[in-house]
Amino acid sequence: MAPLKVTKICCIGAGYVGGPTCAVIALKCPHIQVTIVDLNKARIDAWNSPDFALPIYEPGLVEVVRQARGRNLFFSTDVDKGIEEADLIFVSVNTPTKKSGVGAGFAADLNYVELATRRIATVATSSKIVVEKSTVPCRTAESMRTILEANSRPNCRFDILSNPEFLAEGTAIADLFSPDRVLIGSLQTQEGIDACESLKQVYANWVPPHSHCRPLVFRAVQLAANAMLAQRISSVNALSALCEATGANIDEVAHAIGYDSRIGPKFLKASVGFGGSCFQKDILNLVYLSESCHLPEVAAYWRQVVEMNEYQKRRFSKRVVDTLFNTITGKRIAVLGFAFKADTGDTRESAAITLIRDFQSEKALVNIYDPQVSHEQIWTDLQEASPLAPLNTIKKQVTICKSAIEACKDAEAVVIATEWKEFKDIDWEAVYASMNKPAFVFDGRLLIDADKLRKIGFTVTTIGRPSSTLV
Ligand SMILES: NC(=O)c1ccc[n+]([C@@H]2O[C@H](COP(=O)([O-])OP(=O)(O)OC[C@H]3O[C@@H](n4cnc5c(N)ncnc54)[C@H](O)[C@@H]3O)[C@@H](O)[C@H]2O)c1
């Protein structure tokens, strides 16, 4: 039998991965009907909002949704209908780190994947290709197959594919338009290879044919890729601490290192720490996998990457306190940026949350401004970071502002926590005039022109550079 020609796709999970990925598939494959389903009604309503106030921010995403929505792209809370109609289903649900039970704090919580899989088995009345897109440990596809086969109706066959997503938030649309690689894993049976071919044909509408069918064990590639990226950030951040102590400049060091073609220049920017939904979670997953395989040294090695990231955030908060004459009690600190990186509204594991919690515990007053993150999200994150403090108490210490200029007014210090381009272009003279003196700036993202700000009168502290104003 020839591989199935896919005409209807359903994506379970309308989040940061499912939403952009399947919107791009719909755009590039106008002959395929794509329905993205989610149990979260507020999220689906936002995807369907008449003014395109989408639930996530990604440069270029609105334009994609504008072109495809209502044509061959649909968003719905009717999960069952989406499953029933589709011939190919992406499972793109969340896989957070487990909070309790075996592997708590390390292993991935596969409950959402399992529930979605069970739903497919219950609802499907015809054969489906089921594509695991969530980041899951090796052998999850086998569990999915067992669940599907044990619960399916007669004459329904399920072919499971693994198709990890490598997009980075902030550049998701560009990444999806021209991916570095598309990996598709399948069983090496004729049915598995055919299912893989069907998915390849979907991507072939815009991606050059360099995807390969692989045995399902290659799943570890994604954990490994994210671990290597995060390790690179922690390595450069570890060097930034050394630079601060020895009088070197991390930007220059990184630049010089990047000239080595074996290393390359990308992902060598020191910062206040990595965040996002993937890096920490995937490394902890790798730690868990290593421990399960009785490889404690390997587990300790990868755990250290996360510990270095925590250290970097702690170190930065401490530097703020030390510089402000060892106390920030009652002092106003403006935190510019709340998202975990620029060009996204995602705040998961954002370094800003840790910094603000540290400032709160030092009894500072904190003004926050972010161009994309909703006020509601900020309050939710701050509440989660300090579960023992009632929201009213947090609100006495923290103010969310409508602009960077407003956030900096009457502040003693400005902390740049996210590298939004607009922070580079603020009217820093006006900011200086509105602040208490001496006015401090702490650049956690190597974003601003420190010399220019020093000429205005600021005392500037930059990550990876010594505190002396001469450097
Ligand atoms: N965010 C990234 O940059 C990124 C990149 C690559 C891979 N991943 C992986 O992709 C997966 C999804 O990540 P995300 O950032 O999109 O998560 P997310 O939390 O933004 O979205 C997941 C969505 O799935 C929905 N959902 C959960 N169970 C469901 C069910 N049974 N039926 C219907 N909807 C359900 C949730 O309501 C939520 O809206 C994760 O495994 C993640 O590790 C994420």
Cβ 152 vs Cβ 129: under 8 Å = no
Percent of the chain clearing pLDDT 90 (strictly above): 82
Nearest CA to ligand 1 atom 19: 94
293 is catalytic: no
pLDDT of 468 above 90: no
Alpha carbon separation from 49 to 183, 187, 203, 204, 356 (Å, rounded): 33, 40, 28, 31, 32
C-alpha to C-alpha distance for 10 and 84, rounded to whole angstroms: 9
Instruction: Find the helix or strand (DSSP H, E) in which 151 lies.
Output: helix 140-151
Cβ 165 vs Cβ 93: under 8 Å = no
Higher pLDDT, 182 or 332: 332
Is residue 165 in contact with ligand 1, taking CB distance under 6 Å? yes
Read off the pLDDT of each residue in 373-394 and give the average, rounded to a whole number.
96
Tell me, what's the pLDDT at 209? 75
Tell me, what's the pLDDT at 103? 86
pLDDT of 282 above 70: yes
Catalytic residue among 22, 213, 278, 408: 278
Distance 294 CA to ligand 1 centre (A): 30
pLDDT, the chain, mean: 94
pLDDT in tens, 147-165: 998 988 888 999 999 998 9
Tell me, what's the pLDDT at 214? 58
pLDDT of 228 above 70: yes
Distance 334 CA to ligand 1 centre (A): 32
List binding-site positions for NAD(+): 13-18, 38, 43, 93-97, 134-135, 169, 278-281, 348
pLDDT bin (cut points 50, 70, 90) of residue 92 is: very high
pLDDT in tens, 306-325: 999 999 999 999 999 999 99
pTM for the full predicted model? 0.86
Closest atom, ligand 1, to C-alpha of 93: 24
pLDDT of 335 above 60: yes
Nearest CA to ligand 1 atom 20: 15
Nearest CA to ligand 1 atom 41: 134
Tell me, what's the pLDDT at 469? 44
Q: Which bin fits 337, alpha (ψ -120 to 50), beta or left (φ > 0)?
A: left
pLDDT of 211 above 70: no
Percent of the chain clearing pLDDT 70 (strictly above): 97
Tell me, what's the pLDDT at 470? 39
